Each structure stands twice: as C-alpha cells, then as structure tokens.
Amino acid sequence: MRLPESMTICEVGPRDGLQNEKQILSVQRKIKLINDVVNAGVKVVEIGSFVSPKAVPQLADTDEVAKGITRRPEVEYRALISNLKGAERAIFAGITKVKLTVSASESHNKSNWNRSTAEVIRGFDDVMELAAKNGLEVSGAISTAFGCPFEGNIPREQIMDLIQTFSSMGVTEISLSDTTGMAYPSQVYEISKIARELFPSVRFWLHLHNTRGLSMANIIAGMQAGIVRFDASFAGLGGCPYAPGASGNVATEDVIYMLDLMNIYTGINLNKMIEIARDVRQDVGHETESFILKAGKPLALSTRDTDKLQREV
C-alpha cells in the first residue's frame, strides 16, 4: 500500500457537525469545544459559517464564537462563507481564512443557496477582490462532487471544470465533498488521482460523509491517490439541511484510531478526542455514528498510551 507518513485532519464538528442539530449549543460551549480540539493537537479547525442566520440558525453566533476562541499561531481557524457579506463578517470577526463553496450539482445549488451554479460563481469575484485587499485567504469547496441526491452521478468533467474555475481565480486549496455519502472507493481514487494530475499546484482535501458506511474505505482510497488532507467531525456529527439523506461526517476519533494503528502521524491525541466526542454526544442528547464511542478501543490498547503510536516525522 502507498501510504503517507503523515496526514492533516481538519475538525469540522463546530461547523458541519453542529449545523444540523436540533439542540443549539451556547457560544461558550462552542468556544470550549474549539479550544479543546486544538488542545488535543488539531491544527486546522472549521469554527462555523458566516451565512444567513435564518438558513442555519445553529451557527448564527459564529461571529461571537470567532471573537471568543483562544487563538494559537500554529493553528488555522477557518469558516465557511457563501457570498460577500459572509466575507465581510469573517474579516470583522478576525478570521483570516474562509472557504467558498459551490455545488457540482445545479439542483443542489438551488436547494442550498437558492441560486444557479453560474450565479453562485459570479458572486465569487467580489469576494476575491475583498479578500485580496484585506489579507483574507480563500479556499474552495465543491459539494456533491461524488454524487447528488437529486441528480445522481455527476460527470467528472463538471468537477474538473469547477476546479479550473477556482484555480483561475487564484484559489490553490480545494475540498472535494461527498455531501450525502454517495462516494465509493474506486470513484474516490479515480477522481482524486485525476484532479491531482490535472491541477498539481492545488492542495486537495476530501470531505467524506459516512451515510452508507464507506467513509473509512474512501479515506484509504484517497490516501492511495495521494490525498493527505481530510475533514472529520467529532462524534461523527454532521449533515446538510438542504440535501436529503445527508447524515454524519466520518468521526474524527475513528479516523485517528485507524491512522494511529497504521503508524500515520496526525499529531492528535486519540484519548483526548474520545473525551471530547463523549461530551459532544451528551450535548446533542442522542447517539452518534462514532464506532469508537460505541465499542471503545480494543482491550489490548485500552491502557496503551496512544501518543506513543504517533511516529515523529
């Protein structure tokens, strides 16, 4: 197997994990969760989104959360935006990196943003101009890259065209998102490999949902294709309110557990992430899709210091 020596995990629980929950956490609780995952060793955190409070009331307080977290210089704190207003809010809140998102599916764009793909993309020019003037870094995300709940399979050319669109705007970091968990390993490998070959200067992320139980296999496929950056959510929380059937992300603690055993360095303490996931499960008041929370670590590893499984690179 062609495996990387290290992998970067972005904790998206504070954004994608909480945006679909009925229970809305307080500002202080969100701040503590973000600080806790950073203390566990996470180096990239998606703290929330600057979108319409009416559309996503669970994240209406992202401005306050952004101002309240303890910033560490070595940690990247990013947020999702959809338009110029979101970029302005991010700058005012002190966020220095935002993620612009467009769907590979016309139907999902209309469901999620109430705009066509072309209309969504046209709005990016103003954001890029504002970002350049204010030192705001912009990454991109392509939703439903591996399948749409309304349209089914998305032609590969559509995905590559959107990558080209982002790249022509100067975006050098792009997330390919499996919004409703429709991806499968050979597809993830093929699309990731082709994207990396066609756009060698772009840093690609994979954002995988575990809706149908294939996310861990898809992570392996992504790694085989050379992807070393993945999103994950504490306790496996997550989902898109505007995509039918979009259940939780792959659980951060499950991913770290697998990578620890494979001797792939993440720098994240598994035991601390398990504690955070347990607390989050209590916060939301229901069972989640985390396998480690359900089964625990094997007895042979239960007293073992998982930090020692992390190989220095």
Catalytic residues: 240
Residue with tokens 């046209």: 122
User: What phi, psi does 82 have (nearest 5°)?
Assistant: -125, -10
Least Cα distance to 269 among 232, 308, 218, 240 occurs for 308
